[in-house]
Amino acid sequence: MTHLHFIGIGGIGMSGLAAMCADSGYTVTGSDRGAERPKNRRIIDALELQGIRIYPQDGSYIRDGRPDLLVYSTAIEEGNADFVAGAGIDRIHRSQLLERVIRESGFECSIAVTGSCGKSTVTAYLAEALTNLGADPSCLDGALIKRFTGGRYAGNYRHGAGKYFVFEADESDKSLVNYSPDYAIILNLGCDHYEKDELVRVFGEFLAKVKKGAVLEREVYELVRPRLKPGFPVRVIDASPRPDSQFAIEEYRILTRTDAIYSQGGRRERLAPSGDRAVTDTIGATNLLSIYGMRSEGFRLESRLPVARFTGGRKLELPQPGFHMAMNALAIDALLEWIGFDPAETIEALERFDGVWRRNDYAGLTASGATVYDDYAHNPEKIVSCFRAMREMGDGNIYAVFQPHGYAPFGFMRDQLYLEIEPELRNNDRFILLPPYYAGGTSSFRPKPEEVLADWQSRCRRPERFMYFPNRELLTDFLLLQSKPGDTIVIMGARDNSLSDYAASLTGEKP
């Protein structure tokens, strides 16, 4: 039996793959620098329940025997203590190992979800839709899927008995070119990590390895079309109808209505005006709030329901707000119909989605009555999509707090972020910076957020819309003093799990 040792096993991508390998019969151990930190215990505890031993990342694993392979991600530096202790042991990148495990597992249909934004959400949404359709898929995601969380699994991996395997393929280190899935979904190409020409080259190389076909958003299709193999099957999705549209969103709107609703044990029933129970479904009570942006008025609640109509007139009540969610649903609908599912059943399956941890997560209400959300948004496209979704859920001011996930990406995106977010801000909205997250290692600690703030303020007519706080304590005082009922506070950023704790702290809830 092959023994795999994962360096950095607590990472969101590494931990899911480690769980999958353990389920596939490999002997798995791992190390992680942050294994003992409370914020990481959710993932570490799940791995240990699978019998995976976790070591400090100091090379001490070698005392218990030499593994057959050292598994690493692009984030692991050459001088890592586990590499040093394991000199002479063969190494394998996590993407290469995943491709190997996919082949060994014998899935009849593998589906890769990639692109610059929304990969984790679409991977989860597709896996849940297949589950709703009774297909019992396996899934490996770059985020924790709420519905698949519990017991031996943290939520980023699901072991199913069906023939489908859905996985997230990461473009940030170009490792997606190591995969050869049956199908792929690509929703966007944004300059999060590379310039567009390089992204087009990388995605073109990836698509050359896709076996049966791909669902592509229109802009993606136009960019990569010169690189597609002759005759390669493609389904193109459009944000609005065109004469040549195969799949398009014909309409997207928000329905506002006041219903009498009660929630008991996670079961929601909406009462018709007569008092008869008219519409019934099952959904987590907390998720209900995050999805429909409800405001309490005694026993009556105002709900905002996002609705999309696809090509052919099919209507879908979206489980989460935002036009980007309509595009996500359209892409999944196109793929599921392609691989043989009934279109009517697909629409029904897409109306149920419990969501992903730190994606539009409802955290609660502040003492002043403002609504707090927690979101993983960390690049301009995601931040703007998140902001627009918040706008759909209420008419008050938005306090958008962003902690960049590192100095280098902050410097890379600073200009585009300003250009994207500035037009979205209303007079009393605020876009607020926190110091970039620093996880250790080499850093220039530039650009300084104070300098970026000064640059942004010098470029706009309402400089007070942009703010910077050097710590969370000062920010908390500001938010709790300034926000009022009907306002929205959204905490955004990647890599730092404590952001969720911070969002909860604004509501007085324990994380």
Determine the 3-state secondary structure of 503 from DSSP: helix
Determine the 3-state secondary structure of 384 from DSSP: helix
Q: Is residue 391 part of a domain?
A: yes
**Whether the predicted pLDDT of 267 surpasses 70:** no
> Which amino acid appears at position 326 of this protein?
A
User: Any idea which residue has 């490792």 for tokens?
Assistant: 175
Percent of the chain at pLDDT exceeding 90: 70
Residues 201 and 80 in one domain: no
**Whether the predicted pLDDT of 268 surpasses 80:** no
270 secondary structure, DSSP code: E
End residue of a domain, out of 62, 94, 126: 94
Task: Return the exposure string of 196-227: e unless at least 16 CB atoms fall within 10 Å of the residue's CB, then b.
Answer: eeebbebbbebbebbeebbbbbbebbebbeee
**Whether the predicted pLDDT of 271 surpasses 50:** no
Residues 417 and 494 in one domain: yes
What confidence score (pLDDT) does residue 2 get? 94
Nearest-angstrom CA–CA distance, 227 and 220: 11
Q: Which domain holds residue 47?
A: 3-94
End residue of a domain, out of 177, 212, 247: 247
CA 151 from chain center: how many Å? 22
Nearest-angstrom CA–CA distance, 431 and 188: 24
- pLDDT mean across residues, the chain: 88
Query: Which span out of 74-78, 84-88, 264-268, 440-444 was modeled with the highest average pLDDT?
Result: 84-88
Residues 112 and 37 in one domain: no
Determine the 3-state secondary structure of 400 from DSSP: strand
Q: Is residue 322 part of a domain?
A: no
Residues 79 and 128 in one domain: no
Residues 88 and 116 in one domain: no
Q: Is residue 345 part of a domain?
A: no
**Whether the predicted pLDDT of 293 surpasses 60:** no
26-85 pLDDT tens trace: 999 999 988 877 778 889 999 999 999 999 999 999 999 999 999 999 889 899 999 999
Q: Closest by alpha carbon to 334, among 476, 183, 449, 174? A: 183
Residue 421 CB: number of other CB atoms within 10 A?
20
What confidence score (pLDDT) does residue 443 get? 73
Q: Which residues contact 230 (CB under 8 A, 6 or more apart)?
A: none
Pairing of strands 398-403, 69-72: unpaired
User: Strand order in 466-468's β-sheet?
Assistant: 361-365, 371-375, 488-493, 398-403, 430-433, 466-468
Q: What is the mean pLDDT of residues 326-350?
A: 97
What confidence score (pLDDT) does residue 429 get? 96
Residues 218 and 124 in one domain: yes
167-193 pLDDT tens trace: 999 888 889 999 999 999 999 887 555
272 secondary structure, DSSP code: P
DSSP one-letter string for 425-466: --TT-EEEE-PPP--SS-----S-HHHHHHHHHHHSS-GGGE
Q: Which helix (H) or strand (E) holds 269?
A: strand 267-271
DSSP one-letter string for 315-359: EEE-SS-SHHHHHHHHHHHHHHHHTT--HHHHHHHHT----BTTS
What confidence score (pLDDT) does residue 511 get? 55
Q: How many helices (H) and strands (E) does the chain have?
A: 15, 24
End residue of a domain, out of 71, 94, 117: 94
Q: 453: domain CATH number?
A: 3.90.190.20
Q: Closest by alpha carbon to 289, among 192, 204, 355? A: 355
Residue 88 CB: number of other CB atoms within 10 A?
5
Q: Is residue 341 part of a domain?
A: no
Residues 15 and 140 in one domain: no
How many domains does the structure of the chain reveal?
Answer: 3
Q: Is residue 373 part of a domain?
A: yes
Nearest-angstrom CA–CA distance, 442 and 445: 9
Pairing of strands 164-168, 183-186: unpaired
Nearest-angstrom CA–CA distance, 270 and 278: 6
Nearest-angstrom CA–CA distance, 94 and 92: 6
Q: Is residue 293 part of a domain?
A: no
Q: Is residue 143 part of a domain?
A: yes
Nearest-angstrom CA–CA distance, 356 and 141: 10
CA 263 from chain center: how many Å? 27
**Whether the predicted pLDDT of 280 surpasses 50:** no
> Which amino acid appears at position 433 of this protein?
L
Residues 125 and 57 in one domain: no
Q: Is residue 308 part of a domain?
A: no
369-414 pLDDT tens trace: 999 999 999 889 889 989 998 888 788 999 999 999 989 889 989 9
Q: Closest by alpha carbon to 379, among 402, 356, 362? A: 402
Residues 382 and 451 in one domain: yes
End-to-end CA distance of the chain: 40
